[in-house]
Structure formats: C-alpha cells, structure tokens
A and B are shown apart, each in its own frame.
With several copies, the nearest count.
Chain A
Amino acid sequence: MKKIINDPSTVVEEALHGMEVAHADLIKVNYSPAYIVRADAPVKGKVALVSGGGSGHEPLHGGFVGMGMLDAAAPGAVFTSPTPDQVLDATKAVDGGAGVLHIVKNYTGDVLNFETAAELAQAEDIQVEAVVVDDDVAVKDSTWTAGRRGVGGTVLLEKIVGAAAQRGDDLAACKALAEKVNGQVRSMGLALTACTVPHAGEPSFTLGDDEMEMGVGIHGEPGRERVTLTSADEMVSTMLGSVVEDLPFSSGDSTLLFVNGMGGTPLIELYLAYNSCVKFLKEKGIGVTRSLVGNYITSLEMQGMSITLLRLDDDMTTLWDAPVHTAALRWGA
C-alpha cells in the first residue's frame, strides 16, 4: 500500500485538520464528533443542508460546504458511514430555525445512521427531512438488493438544492426539489484499477491487466460485470447507453453532463471521455447545456470514471448557475 499518510487510524482526522487550515475562511471543523460546517453557520432563517458519508470520496462532501451548497458534512471513517451523533451534532450546529434537509446516499449504513440522527434531532424539536439519492443504474433496483446506490448525482443535487436553500426556498420546497433532481439524474461508474482502504492495506479487488469493472461503486464494490478493457468510445457507449435508456433521456432534452474521475484518473482522460460523451449524446439528439469535468466524488486512488446525466429544466439551470463558494466548487463569488 502506497499512500501519503502517517497512520491508517489518523488519516481522516489529519486530512480534516488540513482542510480546516487551508479553508479557514470557508469552514469550521469539529473533531469529536467529526463534522464540518460553514464558517458562518447557522444561517438564520435559511434551510440547512447536511450531508455526509464515509471518507475517501473527497472532495465529497466536505469540499462542498459553503455558501450556496452544503451547511454541514459529517465524514465517517474511510468508506464507513458516519455515526448518528456526528450527523446529530452537525444538524444542531447548522439549524437556522428553518429546518434541516439530510442528503443521504443510498447505502444501508448511511440510511440507518442518518435515520437515527433524524429521530434524535426531531426529539430536540428540529425539523428534519431527508432525501435518499439513488442514481446508480449499475445496480438493479429490486427487492433483491439494497436498492440503487447514491453516486455522482449527489454532487449535482447538493449544488442545485443548496442554491435553492440559499435563495430562501423553504424545507418542503427544498425536499421536493431534491426529489425531483434525484428523479431526473442517472449515473454509472467504471474502474480500471482498485483502491486500497488504508486500514485494509490490500486493494479491495484485483483486476487483470486488460480488465475493467463496469458499473463499479464508489467504495470499490465490484460492479455489474468484469469486462475486457475497451476504447473510451466503447466505455462511454456502454455507460451512457445504460444511463440514457434508464430514465429515459430523449431527443431534445437539455442536460447537465458530469464526467467524474475516481481519484486516480488524470484530467486529460476525463476531457477525452467528455468528448466521447458529447459525440454519443449528439447522435441521440440530447443537448448538453451545462458541464462538470473533474474529480468530485472519488474512491481514494482508484483509476476510472463515472458519468452522470441530469435532465435540466429552467429552474434547475438557474440554480446550477447561481453563485457557490466552497473548497471544491466555486463560481460567481
């Protein structure tokens, strides 16, 4: 295992220290329990957005805390959902009296721990609603699984709903918008190499030199099938093919295309893949009016990418364009 760390058991805490010092103007960090809040939290009268999940997906979620996006993030151990007290204390720290929306990626652990936190917060008279993001088309959504996973769509949802909260939408409106975004976004991932959880010390899985894991999850969970390495165009056609068919997206749609790196993929490959995506969508008559290309929801040092497509309407587009000022996404401010 080759990592820039001191000790597997202090990775998350040391990285939080680094974030805190590097972004002292934006965020404050609490360590016991661990959570990150906007430096100006609580913002009175504004609906607060709290997300969280295992660490190892940086910049998700801590990198999205700030004006126009999240109010707090609760980072668990690497690939391990946070505990209820992290989420509860974060919720209390950011509640500005207008209620709190929990943004939860659909994993058993995340859902259970956020549920417990929400119950405890409600017992303390904080209004809490939750949206569970499940945009990963690689997983069959059936009673035979824990349901679709929350992946790249989470980033877009946090930005768009964050902007709505910032402009003053109330809790019910924020929750409804979050559900709408979740209903219109689909994603799929792919791994070229595995990642190594610091504590485990060994890669989560092994891939042959000419193999890739199609449909991989962001915790290195093996995906839909292990297939032979193909060209970027073919990767994109499999991934976007599933994504487009699932919603389905149709000719004339206006979309936000998000090509995301898994942490170990260089930007040059992401732009190349983005180009393949645009070609693919053009043929189908699907328009790309907004874009995001980069490493935003990652799996440690995994090489690979995920592709997320969101069907936009005018309001979502306005909210996407609205100013945001966080460590990882910033514009108009």
Chain B
Amino acid sequence: MACDAAGVAGGVRRVAGTVSEHKAELTNLDREIGDGDHGENLARGFGAVIGKLDAETPDSPGGVLKLVATTLISTVGGASGPLFGTAFLRAATSVGDAGELDGSAVAAALEAARDGVVARGKAEPGDKTMVDALTPAVDAAKAAAEGGGDAAAVLAAAAGAAEQGAADTEPMQAHKGRASYLGERSIGHVDPGARSTAYLLRALADAAG
C-alpha cells in the first residue's frame, strides 16, 4: 500500500485494532509496575482517532499524523497521552505537506518522534520507558532507509527493533515514570509503554507491507 494519506490512515486504523486487541495485556503490564491503565488509555485515544477519521480523512500523511496527535493529546491523559501525542505531532511536522512518504521520510519522521518524546519526558535509553523501544526502532529505520528500503521496509525494520527493544526492558530498573517508584522491584517486568510502542510500529508496518 502506498504511504499516502489513505495509506497512513489505514495504518492508523490498524493501530487502533491492535491496541484494542492487546488492551488487557497492556493494562496488565501496567498493573505490575504502574497503575493499571495503559491499555485503557490507548484504547480510549485510538478509539477517538477512529471517530475523527470516520468523520473526515485529511488529505496528506502529515494531516493524518497531526489529527492523531491532537486527538491523543485531548483524549488519553496520563503520561502516555502527551508523549505519544508529541511523537505524532513531531512526525507530522517532519513530513510536512508531502503527498506520499518514501523510506527516508518515514525514518526521519520516526527520529523526530523519538526526539520529541525525549524532549518532553527527559528519559534516556535504559530508563525503562517507551524510549527503549523507539530508539532502536529509529536506528533500524535509518539503516533500512540508507540501504534504500521503501516505507514498508523501513517500518518493518523499525517494528522488529522496537519489539526487541521492548523485550529488553524486562531486566531494566525504571528511572522514569510511575514504575520508578518501585526501585528494584521494577526489574523483571516489560515496560507497558515500550510494548505498546512496538505494537504500534508493527501495525503500521503490517499495513504498509
């Protein structure tokens, strides 16, 4: 599928489906080291996104990304609302008004998204947050784009790396977000935001592939 407005909107719809499918799992991860709402938070946000998309699909990838951003910001709340919101907002700014995205545009958008999350949340890799999924995803995306990969290939590379990144959060001790209050007791659990980030990228990759 082409990475144009319709393609990106399709990807976002698939993300919504994935989030809803894994809602309980994400909430359970958050019960372990957080406050048990992450799945619900994202489901509420992407549910609202679908409503907006049903009403009117913007005519550029950037427009779609911006719609996702503002909807998440105004419906999710919690830590993940502003962070995912910022990610989509920065991605939207990065792609500008391009009608279709190639591999390097996707990689650049992912990098902008990650940088936005870091700017807002001040988390570094290893702090056991969504940044630990986003950072390897950005690296893999950039490598794939430099190797000439198209949007689908770049997203697939990002998704694979994010999945690995999410799994790698399990032995980490959290230093940011609610899980940090647990100190050493945060060790041994996968970070919910890292896991949801991986699901999100996988859904986008599947839709594009």
Contact = CB atoms under 8 A, between A and B. Distances in A.
Interface string A135-148: 00011100111100
B177 interface: yes
Contact of B41 (A80, A140, A217, A223): A80
B178 A219 contact: yes
B75 interface: yes
Contacts, number: 122
A200 B77 contact: no
B182 A79 contact: no
A258 to B, nearest CB: 21
Interface in B56-79: 73-79
Interface string B21-62: 000000110010011110011001000000000000000000
A59 interface: no
Contacts of A54: 35, 37, 77-78
Given A33-B74, A145-B180, A146-B180, A78 B37 contact: yes
Given A81-B79, A84-B82, A197 B178 contact: no
B74 A83 contact: yes
Query: Is chain A's binding surface mostly helix, strand, loop or mixed?
Result: loop
A138 B180 CA distance: 12
Given A77-B44, A83-B75, A113-B77, A146 B177 contact: yes
Interface stretch (A39-47, A104-112, A167-175, A319-327): A104-112
B181 A76 contact: no
A281 to B, nearest CB: 27
Interface in B170-187: 175-178, 180-183, 185
A54 B81 CA distance: 13
A77 B41 contact: yes
Contact of A116 (B75, B82, B121, B185): B82
A83 B181 contact: no
A218 B17 CA distance: 31
A82 B73 CA distance: 10
Contacts of B81: 81, 83, 109, 112-113
B41 A83 contact: no
A223 B78 CA distance: 20
Query: Is chain B's binding surface mostly helix, strand, loop or mixed?
Result: helix
A269 interface: no
B177 A108 contact: yes
Contact of B79 (A33, A83, A107, A220): A107
B137 interface: no
B37 A200 contact: yes
- Interface centre among B77, B175, B177, by most A CB within 10 Å? B77
A202 interface: yes
B203 interface: no
B178 A107 contact: yes
Contacts of A109: 77-82
A85 B85 CA distance: 13
A217 B181 contact: yes
Interface in A35-88: 54, 76-86
A125 to B, nearest CB: 21
Given A81-B77, A83-B77, A221 B37 contact: no
A183 interface: no
A221 B73 contact: no
A146 B181 contact: yes
A224 to B, nearest CB: 8
Nearest to B185: A222
Interface of B: 27-28, 31, 34-37, 40-41, 44, 73-83, 120-121, 175-178, 180-183, 185
10 closest pairs, A vs B, by CB?
A: A219-B35, A109-B79, A112-B82, A145-B180, A109-B78, A108-B79, A200-B36, A199-B40, A80-B78, A76-B77
Given A84-B73, A199-B37, 18 more contacts: A54-B78, A77-B41, A77-B78, A80-B77, A83-B77, A109-B80, A109-B81, A112-B79, A113-B78, A139-B181, A144-B180, A146-B178, A199-B27, A202-B31, A220-B35, A220-B36, A221-B34, A223-B181
